[in-house]
Structure 1
Amino acid sequence: MPARPASSTTRQGALAEDRALAYLQRQGLVAVERNYRCKGGEIDLIMRAADDTLVFVEVRKRGGRGFGGAAASITLTKQRRVLRAASHYLATLDRLPPCRVDVVALDPGRLEWLRNAFDLGALDSEGGGEGPAS
């Protein structure tokens, strides 16, 4: 059976990731992995900074700035999925490097790089629930 063509949303997401990757590389980060997936989570980009920090990157794109724009579209559920995948990825390493989670938010005419966008310390208390944060 032939593969289904990628949806417009999938293509737009891939283009946003390409743009974020190119931007981060210009800022000195090195690509480690792209579209890392595990059960219950995913990470768009995994990068390494010059100081050896491992950077998990969530890329968000929005066609308009309504409802707070791309950065505001990262729900608690999405944060948990990124943290779950980060935990899974870190478990594959021989040593734990310093790490953080960044967001690259793409709104019309604007790219914003948010360093330390949410706390990796939540890995310690990650319960996997989908309810609101307390």
Structure 2
Amino acid sequence: MFSLKRQVGNTAEKLALQYLTKKGLKLVEQNYLTKFGEIDIIMLDKLEQILVFVEVRYRKNVCFGSATSTINSTKQAKIICAANHFLQKTSQYDDFICRFDVVGLESDLKYPKINWIKNAFEAI
């Protein structure tokens, strides 16, 4: 049985996926798991031939900071390593530019405030 935290996370990821799909992105993979870490959502921006690695964060209460502010350098490094793993395993995206986005959801998940940050960080 899923924990409450996992259920909330799944709901936040589903809402982020719906939001990004409405913005024209296409789902490639969800919950890509490696020994380096997980990528919540991998999407394709076909108009610009960009492969987008998306980290989804949720905060019900922003008293201790926004949802997007919780992505520290350690988390970024894990996402970048996982993205490198994906790219090594999936040659069909060799000619694509890669981008790292963050989608922050805040407040009640029934009516969340969604903050999509394109190019939230870069691979060094």
Same fold (TM over 0.5): yes
One-letter code aligned to 2:120? A
Query: What is the root-mean-square deviation in Å for CA atoms of aligned residues?
Result: 1.0
Correspondence 1:71 to 2:74: no
Select the structure of larger CA radius of gyration: 1
* Higher relative contact order, chain-length normalized (CA < 8 Å, sep 6+): 2
Segments of 5+ residues of structure 1 without an aligned counterpart are 123-134
What CA distance in whole angstroms lies between the structure 1 residues aligned with 2:5 and 2:43? 24
Equivalent residue for 1:23? 19
Equivalent residue for 1:11? 7
The aligned length equals 117
One-letter code aligned to 2:121? F
Find the residue that maps to 2:24 and give its secondary structure: coil
Question: TM-score normalised to the size of structure 2?
Answer: 0.90
Which has the larger share of strand?
Answer: 2
Question: TM-score normalised to the size of structure 1?
Answer: 0.84
One-letter code aligned to 2:103? V
Segments of 5+ residues of structure 2 without an aligned counterpart are none
Identical aligned pairs, as a percentage? 43
Find the residue that maps to 2:60 and give its secondary structure: coil
Instruction: For residue 23 of structure 1, report the CA deviation from its aligned partner.
Output: 0.2
What CA distance in whole angstroms lies between the structure 1 residues aligned with 2:118 and 2:54? 9
Contact 1:90 1:96 in 2 (8 A): no
